[in-house]
Amino acid sequence: MSIETITEKSLRGDELTKQECMEVLDYPDEGILEILDAAYRVRKKYFGNRVQVQMLLNAKSGMCSENCGYCTQSGVSEADIKEFPLRPAAELVAGAVSAKKSGASRFCMALSGIRYDDGLIEKLAESIRAVKKEADISLCCSMGFLKPAQADKLKKAGLDRINHNLNTEKNFYANICTTHTWDERVQNIKTCREAGLEICSGGIIGLGEGKQGAAELFMELKKLRPDSIPVNFYIPVRGTPLEKKGEKLTPHYCLKALCLARFSNPDSDIRAAGGREYHLRSMQGLALYAVNSIFVSGYLTTGGQPAGEGFQMIKDMGFEAEIEGVE
């Protein structure tokens, strides 16, 4: 199987086989420009040279009941992070207004936790209404499980999109979390979609899933057809259970994983998310040949590329930021 065949299949929207996925991840490092060029052909068909820029705000931090081994906010993590309940509406509005002023096309609010009481969902719905009134920006919430009525309430309040990641492939899931299941995650995605929310769902590369696991993850995502797929690269954090278990990632492997995300999900937004700066280092501009979306200004509990540098990188690489509402 040649990369040309894989590219043609991707351009047609055909599902890739496991063997084809592995071929992308196993592609020789010295051929990185060839494979990026092939991924770019697919990216260009659906997204031209446009890059969405998104900003993330940690809206509710820590105190989570779950034991996701990579997460600094889990109940079993000893990492030193700031914990706080849902931020007041005024702070969320200020974050969204600032994201819009910076030129971001979407504002993402992340809430720790897996299940939420109706009181919190009501407060969040009020904040969403306030954000939509003041900032009029596309809005995503990164959250745990929602009951159908809760998903419905958030959608009616104006929420556009929900982020709920698969994180890793089904058979590896118990290695990273035992307090809930992969199937529950899939069910939650279905619940949110039924409420009319757009779906953002991706994963984390480098948790120990290996190439086979990464290939499975992208194949499973293809079945779910998310509107958007964030690809995170695992950064070990001291005090978390997976601190010493992550994989050693190279910039070349990370780029190949982004190419695979593109080939296997050609018309979904592919976002280079957490770990981009840390693992791709000086090669991160090349990611734009495969992805059409990036975060700027940092992640949940780790810093990231400042917005100005992100926009400059996009321009320097010959791509165009999708800017909305710059004042």
Min separation Cβ 58 and ligand SF4, Å:
10
**Minimum separation from the CB atom of position 193 to ligand SF4 (A):** 20
Kindly tell me which of 74 and 305 has the beta carbon lying closer to ligand SF4. 74
Q: Is 240 in the site for ligand SF4 (CB under 6 A)?
A: no
The binder of ligand SF4 chosen from 6, 39, 55, 68 (CB under 6 A): 68
Indicate the residue among 103 and 113 with the shorter CB distance to ligand SF4: 113
Q: In terms of CB distance, is 292 or 301 closer to ligand SF4?
A: 301
Taking CB under 6 A as the criterion, the residue among 51, 59, 64, 141 binding ligand SF4 is 64
Report how many residues bind ligand SF4 under the rule CB under 6 A.
Answer: 10
66 near ligand SF4 (CB under 6 A): yes
In whole angstroms, give the CA distance from residue 64 to residue 74.
5
Task: List the beta bridge partners of residue 53.
Answer: 294
* Residue 229 DSSP SS3: strand
Going by C-beta distance under 8 Å and a sequence separation of 6 or more, which residues neighbour residue 244?
236
Among 57, 71, 137, 242, binds ligand SF4 (CB under 6 A): 71
Residue found under tokens 């969040």: 124
294's tokens: 């990036």
What is the rounded distance in angstroms from the CA atom of residue 75 to the CA atom of residue 273? 24
Q: Which is nearer to ligand SF4, 132 or 161 (CB)?
A: 161
Check binding of 86 to ligand SF4 (CB under 6 A). Answer: no
The 8 Å CB, 24+ separation contacts for 128-133 are 128/154, 128/157, 128/158, 128/159, 129/157, 129/158, 130/89, 130/92, 130/93, 131/89, 131/92, 131/93, 131/96, 131/107, 131/158, 132/157, 132/158
Instruction: Tell me: does residue 201 bind ligand SF4 (CB under 6 A).
Output: no
Question: Judged by CB under 6 A, does residue 258 bind ligand SF4?
Answer: no
x-or-dash string of contact with ligand SF4, 20-59, rule CB under 6 A: ----------------------------------------
Instruction: Write the binding mask 94 to 133 for ligand SF4: x where contact by CB under 6 A, - elsewhere.
Output: ------------------xxx-------------------
For ligand SF4, the closer CB: 71 or 270: 71
Whole-angstrom Cα distance, residue 183 to residue 287? 30
The angle formed by the CA atoms of residues 222, 279 and 110, to the nearest 5 degrees, is 60
Judged by CB under 6 A, does residue 163 bind ligand SF4?
Answer: no
- Strands (E) in 90-158, as ranges, are 106-111, 138-142
Nearest to 128 by CA among 162, 82, 170, 103: 162
Whichever of 166 and 296 has its CB closer to ligand SF4, that residue is: 166
Q: Whose Cβ is closer to ligand SF4: residue 56's or residue 71's?
A: 71
Please pick, from the candidates 103, 144, 266, 304, the single residue that binds ligand SF4 as defined by CB under 6 A.
Answer: 144
How far apart (Å, rounded) are the C-alpha atoms in residues 3 and 134? 47
Measured from the CB atom, the residue of 66 and 160 that comes closer to ligand SF4 is 66
Under the binding rule (CB under 6 A), the answer on residue 235 touching ligand SF4 is: no
Cβ contact 170:187 at 8 Å: no
For ligand SF4, the closer of residues 145 and 311 by Cβ is 145
Angle between helices 32-47 and 3-12 in degrees, nearest 10: 10
Binding site for ligand SF4 (CB under 6 A): 64, 66, 68, 71, 73-74, 112-114, 144
